[in-house]
């Protein structure tokens, strides 16, 4: 079993429409994922695992047509399955496809995730293992600490129907 956490940056851009009004909505989020993973297959250089957890995202900046807006906080829950390919003892490449469900924020500001709450991503990245210690139960069992770099792209349709906002 492993616990996975870190930081995740997300940029959402949508074309918004309401009656004759057409504009652009941009929201920058910083997220903190918290997931648990379980390795169900471990070979010499390859292992496979399943994961599940939650993601909390807070808005860094948001605007509609250059006008600042107050974007909502965003919660989501997700699950995935992944594989890791060990290049050296400290360097691995991994693929970690996952499916997230984004909960409705209840806000008048409607990110694309309000209309399309499911998101499927296929993160591919490089994992650096920087510290391992043996566990007490087995000489072949290790507890390791890792860092990862994971560029990822999520696919969404980018047109959202929104009410016009006024302050």
- Predicted confidence (pLDDT) per residue in 12-68, tens digit: 888 877 677 788 889 999 999 899 999 999 888 899 999 999 999 999 999 988 899
104 touches 73 (CB < 8 A) = no
Cα(142)–Cα(3) distance, rounded to whole angstroms?
14
63 touches 25 (CB < 8 A) = yes
Answer yes or no: is pLDDT of 159 > 50. Answer: no
Largest CA distance in the chain: 68
Selected residue with higher pLDDT from 141 and 84: 84
Least-confidence region, from 28-42, 53-67, 70-84, 136-150? 136-150
What local confidence, expressed as pLDDT, does residue 101 receive? 96
Selected residue with higher pLDDT from 11 and 132: 11
Within 8 A by CB and 6+ apart from 97, the residues are 80, 81, 82, 120, 121, 122, 123
């Amino acid at each position: 079993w492993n616990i996975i956490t870190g930081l995740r940056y997300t940029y959402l851009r949508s074309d918004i429409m309401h009656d004759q009004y057409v504009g652009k909505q941009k929201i920058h989020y910083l997220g903190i994922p918290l997931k648990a993973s379980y390795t169900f297959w471990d070979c010499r250089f390859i292992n496979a695992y399943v994961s599940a957890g939650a993601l909390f995202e807070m808005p860094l900046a948001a605007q509609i047509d250059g006008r600042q807006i107050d974007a909502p906080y965003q919660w989501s829950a997700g699950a995935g399955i992944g594989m890791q390919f060990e290049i050296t003892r400290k360097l691995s490449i991994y693929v970690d496809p996952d499916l997230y469900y984004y909960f409705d924020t209840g806000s008048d500001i409607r990110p694309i995730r309000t209309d399309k709450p499911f998101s499927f991503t296929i993160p591919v990245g490089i994992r650096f293992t920087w510290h391992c210690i043996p566990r007490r139960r087995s000489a072949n069992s290790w507890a390791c600490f890792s860092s990862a770099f994971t560029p990822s792209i999520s696919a969404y349709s980018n047109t959202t129907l929104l009410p016009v906002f006024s302050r």
